[in-house]
Structures are given as structure tokens and as C-alpha cells.
């Protein structure tokens, strides 16, 4: 494995963020994979929410290819509140919004009576290493995450993920960032059709979180379903060694290349 960059993003002197090669898309060396920008927007939305609030859902819209160029982020509060809060963020590159996100935060409170069934992931120690996209191993984002597979077949995958570098240089990697750096990979992990012949493009991604994960590893139980008129839906259940963390959904544009 090549030497990894210091982080996915380097802070710039004007308050912006410079993407490193760790953000690199597999399809275009000058573009970013959707995972790091999603995590960056969530990181800044979370910082704006204040103490006692936890990010419960984030929906991210990709407005086109995301250039691997310096960017700034604008955060706006849409619905203030002490118990629930809605805010949006834009990733702006060369004066144009390339990614937009909407995040709901919910205030934490007393522990409710236990009632949910336990949902535990398969063994990490039994999962061999692999690549997020079969046959592609030398692209920036793919190398910046460790992928260990319990299962993989056409349209399904069970994989442990470990992000290898910080999101932003000089800042610790949070559980929220670990989750959202990998969440947008649900589609790529569970491709139902060979990528050399078919496009499978998610224009948007939604992650709903029960809680942040603990530890270095996040497990994704992924599957992709296809309609008979050119659409698809990728989803993933997120877990950590302690159990259930949340869900990812991605609608897909499916076309022959």
C-alpha cells in the first residue's frame, strides 16, 4: 500500500479545506468520492449544533462531479430548537455548490426502557481483506479505508471498515466521521451488475443513526435491488462490535455504459 496522506482534508489559511489524494474517486482522478465530502459537511453541521444535540439523520445531494480542489463550507440553520434542529451545509468549489446536506439533530435525554432486539455483526477476525471495488486497488479513497469481507456476492456484501487517517488534519477522527466516510460506499460494495459494463450512480444518500459507533471498526451489511425500468436502491445496515448503529439508503441511476 502506498504512503497515505495526512488526512482527507487539509485546513487552508482562509478557513477552507483542501482535499488530499485520499478523497480520490475511482472513476476520475480529479474528482472526489462522495464519502469524504459527506463526512466533512456532517462534521461541520455537528459542530454548529451545540452540546446536548446528536445528529440523527443526514441527507446529502451530489449536484455533479465533486472537483478535487480547495473548497469552503457554508452552514445555515433552517429550524432552530432545543429538542430538534434542522440545518443545511453546502460544499462550494470554484464558487459553485457541488454537494448540499440537510441534517436533523435531536437532543439527548434519559435512557428509555430497553425494548430493541440485539443485532450483532459477524466476526471481524474471520473477515479477510479485500477492495471496495473488485479489480481496483490503487485509488486514493479505496486505500484510505481498510475493507475486510465476511461475505460478497452479486448485489450483497458484508464488510468491516476501518478508516485509516483523520478526516481533517490536526483533528481526531470521530465515530460520526468514521461512519459517514464509508456510508456512501454501500452501492459500490454491493454492485448488482459488472461496473465495466454498467453505470450505477447514486445522486443522493441518506444515513439515519441510532447512535455513533464506538471503536475503530464499522460493519456494513449491504444489498442492492434493481427495478425493471432503470432504477435501483442500495441500502446498508450499520453496526459496530456492540450492535446496531443505523441505516444507509441510496437511490440509483442504472444504465449500460
* 27-67 per-position pLDDT tens digit: 899 999 999 999 999 999 999 998 899 999 999 999 999 99
Residue 216 clears pLDDT 90, i.e. is over it: yes
Q: Who's near 174: CB < 8 A, 6+ residues apart?
A: 43, 167, 212
pLDDT in the model for residue 115: 67
Please state, for a pLDDT cut of 90, what percent of the chain lies above it: 86
Q: Who's near 153: CB < 8 A, 6+ residues apart?
A: none
Residue 114 clears pLDDT 80, i.e. is over it: no
| Total-model pTM | 0.95
- Asked: is 9-108+123-256 a CATH 2.40.160.210 domain? The reply is yes
Return the domain boundaries, the chain.
9-108+123-256
pLDDT in the model for residue 174: 97
N-terminal to C-terminal alpha carbon distance within the chain: 30
| Mean pLDDT score of the chain | 94
Residue 2 clears pLDDT 70, i.e. is over it: no
Q: What is the mean pLDDT of residues 165-188?
A: 97
Q: How far apart are CA 44 and CA 25, in angstroms?
A: 22
Identify the bridge partners of residue 85 per DSSP, sorted by sequence position.
105
Q: How far apart are CA 46 and CA 42, in angstroms?
A: 6
Amino acid at each position: 500500500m502506498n504512503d497515505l496522506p495526512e488526512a482527507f482534508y487539509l485546513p487552508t489559511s482562509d478557513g477552507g479545506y483542501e482535499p488530499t489524494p485520499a478523497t480520490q474517486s475511482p472513476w476520475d482522478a480529479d474528482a472526489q468520492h462522495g464519502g469524504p465530502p459527506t463526512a466533512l459537511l456532517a462534521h461541520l453541521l455537528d459542530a454548529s449544533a451545540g452540546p446536548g444535540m446528536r445528529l440523527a439523520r443526514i441527507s446529502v445531494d451530489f449536484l455533479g462531479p465533486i472537483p478535487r480542489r480547495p473548497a469552503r463550507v457554508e452552514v445555515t440553520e433552517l429550524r432552530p430548537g432545543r429538542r430538534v434542529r434542522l440545518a443545511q451545509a453546502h460544499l462550494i468549489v470554484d464558487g459553485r455548490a457541488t454537494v448540499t446536506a440537510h441534517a436533523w439533530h435531536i437532543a439527548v435525554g434519559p435512557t428509555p426502557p430497553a425494548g430493541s432486539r440485539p443485532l450483532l455483526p459477524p466476526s471481524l477476525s474471520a473477515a479477510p481483506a479485500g477492495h471496495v471495488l473488485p479489480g481496483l486497488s490503487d485509488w486514493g479513497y479505496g486505500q484510505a479505508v481498510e475493507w475486510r469481507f465476511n461475505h460478497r456476492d452479486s448485489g450483497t456484501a458484508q464488510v468491516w471498515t476501518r478508516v485509516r487517517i483523520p478526516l481533517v488534519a490536526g483533528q481526531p477522527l470521530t465515530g460520526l466521521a468514521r461512519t459517514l466516510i464509508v456510508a456512501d460506499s454501500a452501492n459500490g460494495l454491493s454492485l448488482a451488475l459488472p461496473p465495466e459494463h454498467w453505470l450505477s450512480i447514486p445522486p443522493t444518500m441518506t444515513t439515519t443513526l441510532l447512535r455513533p459507533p464506538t471503536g475503530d471498526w464499522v460493519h456494513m451489511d449491504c444489498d442492492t435491488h434493481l427495478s425493471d425500468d432503470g432504477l435501483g436502491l442500495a441500502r446498508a445496515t450499520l453496526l459496530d462490535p456492540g450492535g446496531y448503529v443505523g441505516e444507509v439508503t441510496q437511490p440509483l441511476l442504472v444504465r449500460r455504459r
